[in-house]
Structure 1
């Protein structure tokens, strides 16, 4: 029960890695506030999570939604002990096919959304709080078709350092988890759905020849949010089956 009496916000918590992390934290005693843009999916997720959960319809690219999100959490729980800034999208597009629209969509969701989620959280976070950002191993690789997506995740990696540099003075930790290929709905529901044959090739490129699971990411996020990691600031934890190291 590492999170007993703790209140944790998970953006993009209505499916995939976000929902799996919410379940993991709730199982360890947390009260979880999850956000998403799809009310039906959010309601379904809250039903799965049970009475110690709160669903908030919010788009992280809209600053007024973020303001309302934090006010809602404050009114419901009176405090905030941690954040998993997970909301994001993916696209695998050749450089020649990137449009201004696709560029803006990726940057707004993955960079602007994360930045202002963190900035607007500062007045609400208690000393001793922890923040985990969701990046990706693509941030440190040169895979074809990821020029903008990888740039957004590199920005997220940078935020873990720069926010740590400022928030450590408030006793607030910021770290980042960088998943490798993970079994998640985003492969099919992202901006560019990936065909099954391409997914099979990706799995073969992982040293251990399989995709990771959402639960494996959730376990790593739980560690970084917990008091088991109180001397860890600004790090990137690669959870990728060795993709970035072997």
Structure 2
């Protein structure tokens, strides 16, 4: 398989879940992938897993100096970029009456500000015709209690895709949004207190999805591959909904 042969990609938040599955698929399709994430131990595991066609850079999308380090390494390696997947995200569940400045900022600093500067700082390295993919959530389309700031910060990404498609059209840059439904990732285990609670969360999600199950990270990665590849050469400013029908029927 070589749908991304000789392409160079950045995937933020690429050490677990959707990000890791995307990085694995891109490498399998012939791309060289730079993984950007905070946890050095997880980055080391990911580097070992992906092999010679991947490199890792530790950092936080909230820190502009860390983003400069990422793109500085790519430039120092003599590479330019064909794909940027702004995938890293933050989520907390806080009901309206309990929202604090810190909890609000946590969501917006990662999901809205972090994504903007991830893409902005990539611009000098992006080849004309490159693909920019933003990872949103169905919480931007439906109302979920406790997700006020999270959903609002992710809704910004759909606006980014529209605005940047127009701003960057002279370079042929394609900006699109992936909007996944509930996906079975390690985040569920991290947010719950026991395996039993995690299983209950998964069952609750599955019951709300017409296809009767949660998405697998590999299924979201397949959609990422479509938008990253030339198969989507006439797709720009769009939103690709991958939710098992949850928002459509």
Q: Judge same fold: TM > 0.5, yes or no.
A: yes
> TM-score per shorter chain, which class?
over 0.9
TM-score by length of 2: 0.95
Stretch of structure 1 that moved more, 234-243 or 87-96: 87-96
Question: Does structure 2 conserve the Cα–Cα contact (< 8 Å) formed by 1:46 and 1:54?
Answer: yes
Deviation at 1:77, TM superposition (A): 4.3
Deviation at 1:6, TM superposition (A): 0.6
Task: Name 2:21's counterpart in structure 1.
Answer: 20
Task: Name 1:65's counterpart in structure 2.
Answer: 66
Task: Name 2:239's counterpart in structure 1.
Answer: 236
Task: Name 2:217's counterpart in structure 1.
Answer: 214
Q: SS of the counterpart of 1:216?
A: helix
Q: SS of the counterpart of 1:50?
A: helix
How far apart, CA to CA, are the structure 1 residues paired with 2:205 and 2:193? Answer: 14
Deviation at 1:198, TM superposition (A): 3.1
How far apart, CA to CA, are the structure 2 residues paired with 1:193 and 1:91? Answer: 15
How far apart, CA to CA, are the structure 2 residues paired with 1:108 and 1:134? Answer: 15
Deviation at 1:98, TM superposition (A): 1.3
Q: SS of the counterpart of 2:247?
A: coil
TM-score by length of 1: 0.96
Question: Does structure 1 conserve the Cα–Cα contact (< 8 Å) formed by 2:165 and 2:237?
Answer: yes
Task: Name 1:53's counterpart in structure 2.
Answer: 54
Q: Number of matched residues?
A: 245
Return 5+ residue gaps in structure 2 as ranges: none
Return 5+ residue gaps in structure 1 as ranges: none
Task: Name 1:153's counterpart in structure 2.
Answer: 154
Deviations 1:14-68 (A, max 9, x none): 1111110000010010000001101110010010001010000010000111111
How far apart, CA to CA, are the structure 2 residues paired with 1:105 and 1:175? Answer: 24
Q: Name segments (4+ residues, structure 1) moved above 3 Å.
A: 192-195
